[in-house]
Amino acid sequence: MTSPVSAIEAIEKALDEFDREVQEQLSAESERADLWEELDVNASDLREVLSLARQAEALQRENAELREALKPFAECVPEWDGEPDSLHVFFEWNDENAPVPSLPVADFRRARALLGGSEHAE
């Protein structure tokens, strides 16, 4: 199966080749220049669609990476079953002079909910 990215690249390549062929034909027949202008607008529209498709693919990849990053937090939720959302989880910290980082249990629960866990995301 062709990946979406390579499919977009194939469409872009075909569009470039089409542009060249049409330009060559129309330059030989100058009276049909108005047709070229119409085709060029349609090609520009298609290029915009392809650009938007690339942006959508990038967002899908980013979404998958962010979901993967949430998994370790979501997996910790059972540790605090029955505890209030306001309970803070403190992390071990080696620097005695720095504040100890913490996260509320609600953040872990939200990570689980966003990944489709048993609780719903706000």
b/e sequence 3-32, b meaning 16+ C-beta within 10 Å: eeeeebeeeeeeeeeeeeebeeebeeeeee
pTM of the model: 0.59
- What confidence tier does 36 reach under pLDDT thresholds 50, 70, 90? low
Q: Residue 97: left (phi > 0), alpha (psi -120 to 50), or beta?
A: alpha
**117 touches 82 (CB < 8 A):** no
Closest CA to 12 of 62, 53, 58: 53
| Whether the predicted pLDDT of 46 surpasses 70 | yes
The one-letter amino acid code at 72 reads P
> What angle (nearest 5°) sits at the alpha carbon of residue 66, between those of residues 47 and 119?
125
| CA gap 4, 118 in Å, rounded | 32
| Whether the predicted pLDDT of 120 surpasses 80 | no
